[in-house]
Amino acid sequence: MKTKVSFFDLAVQFKSIEDEIKSAMDDVFQTQQFILGSKVKVLEETIAQYCRTRYAIGVASGSDALLLSLMALGIGTGDEVLLPPFTFFATAGSVSRLGAIPVFVDIDQETFNIDPSKIEEKITSRTKAIIPVHLFGQCADMDPLLKIAKKKKLFIIEDAAQALGAEYKPKPGSDGRRAGQIGDLGCFSFYPTKNLGAFGDGGMVVTDNLDLAEKVRLLRVHGSQPKYFHKRIGINSRLDTIQAAILLVKFKHLEKWTIERQKKAERYQLLFQDLLSSVNGLKLPTIQYQNRHIFHQYVIRVPERDRLKKYLTEEGVGTDIYYPVPLHLQECYSFLKYHRGDLPNSEKASEEVLALPIYPELTEGQQWAVVDRIKAFYKRRAQGA
């Protein structure tokens, strides 16, 4: 019988920590405190320390982390915010929710992250901020961005939803800077399939700036301080106590899980070696500047992506496409009047990317099966099937 490989499998991970999770949840049930509270505070301190920032603020989702960061910076009607179109919708949606305008900047072909050399041409007198996305677990090229932001007086909000624990550009003898600590604010998501996933929605904003931290903290509780006295118009975006309790348990395993993901990525690299020379246009993920890539996703590129995906599905291998339509070509953004061809690298990536299974519990046999089926696909093609 052929080995089935699902695209992800949260159940295996749950089995390995079931007792710890249940007892942490039981603690919450006993106290009957469900909103924010001491567990959220401990998680905030834990994440701040992990990201090497002074402050962290727990919020209801990664999307809200972006929204609240933009609100804290005072971004609103008519302001322009630069961001890549090859990302999850929330990166742009948060900007639009505030009446600001997402201005899309094409990506680098190798890393899938925003191309710093294409930013300056998009800056106008209305530009207020840049949101680089650390896609798939690798940091965007932040040094040139920081330089542009300083020169043009722009804020940087890192969309680090996929990059908790990733590091940018280590210098000899020292670690790189952590995702989230590089810009003015960093945003994380605890969506269940993220590297640190809750049992529902959750998110976090990190920053070194006390003023911004206080603003986010205020805005997540409808701007009220003290209760029922509203300083600013905020939203309801609090992190649940129960999610914090679960995340604190899972956090203890995060480094180990990250190392496992990195090992799977290395193994794919080895297993794909002979295909690389025989298949035209096949590309594996690349790591820039010896960054610490945490492999939230392992994304290959192939020109015949849709046929390969279909074949793998029939053969019992789960894959997914992040992302099939770049944001500038989404129906809801037709009013922005972008056209196919405007941002060619993002458009091409949307046609060629295929995410393969990568999770800490993925076995060597499963990885072997994934690559073996891909080899079988190309063998059949070579034979004209």
Ligand X SMILES: *Cc1c(COP(=O)(O)O)cnc(C)c1O
- By CB under 6 A, is residue 88 in contact with ligand X? yes
Give the Cα separation of 249 and 24 in Å (integer).
7
- Listed in sequence order, the DSSP H helices in 186-301 are 210-219, 241-271, 273-278
- By CB under 6 A, is residue 201 in contact with ligand X? yes
The SS3 of residue 220 is coil
- By CB under 6 A, is residue 106 in contact with ligand X? no
Give the Cα separation of 248 and 233 in Å (integer).
31
Give the Cα separation of 27 and 375 in Å (integer).
50
Which CB, 43 or 374, lies closer to ligand X?
43
- By CB under 6 A, is residue 243 in contact with ligand X? no
Of the candidate spans 27-35, 61-69, 138-146, 326-334, the one that interacts with ligand X by CB under 6 A turns out to be: 61-69
- By CB under 6 A, is residue 155 in contact with ligand X? no
Which CB, 50 or 191, lies closer to ligand X?
191
| Short-list 306, 307, 298, CA closest to 358 | 298
One residue of 56, 133, 206, 299 binding ligand X per CB under 6 A: 133
User: In whole angstroms, how close is the CB of 91 to ligand X at the nearest point?
Assistant: 5
One residue of 46, 87, 297, 345 binding ligand X per CB under 6 A: 87
Show Cβ contacts of residue 40 under 8 Å, excluding neighbours closer than 6 positions.
58, 238, 239, 241, 244
Binding marks (x or -) toward ligand X, 165..194, rule CB under 6 A?
------------------------x-x---
Give the Cα separation of 156 and 132 in Å (integer).
8
Question: How far are the Cα atoms of 64, 75, 121, 201 from residue 132, in angstroms, in the given order?
Answer: 16, 16, 16, 22
Of the candidate spans 8-16, 57-65, 104-112, 338-346, the one that interacts with ligand X by CB under 6 A turns out to be: 57-65
- CB atoms under 10 Å from CB of 206, counted, come to 31
- 257 phi and psi, to 5 degrees? -65, -40
Of the candidate spans 109-117, 155-163, 340-348, 362-370, the one that interacts with ligand X by CB under 6 A turns out to be: 155-163
CA quadruple 13, 180, 290, 320: dihedral sign: positive
One residue of 95, 161, 179, 239 binding ligand X per CB under 6 A: 161
Give the Cα separation of 304 and 310 in Å (integer).
10
Which CB, 136 or 155, lies closer to ligand X?
136
One residue of 138, 162, 346, 367 binding ligand X per CB under 6 A: 162
- By CB under 6 A, is residue 61 in contact with ligand X? yes
- Contacts with ligand X by CB under 6 A: the residue count is 15
Which CB, 62 or 85, lies closer to ligand X?
62
User: In whole angstroms, how close is the CB of 62 to ligand X at the nearest point?
Assistant: 2
Could you list the residues that contact ligand X (CB under 6 A)? 61-63, 87-88, 90-91, 133, 159, 161-162, 189, 191, 201, 203
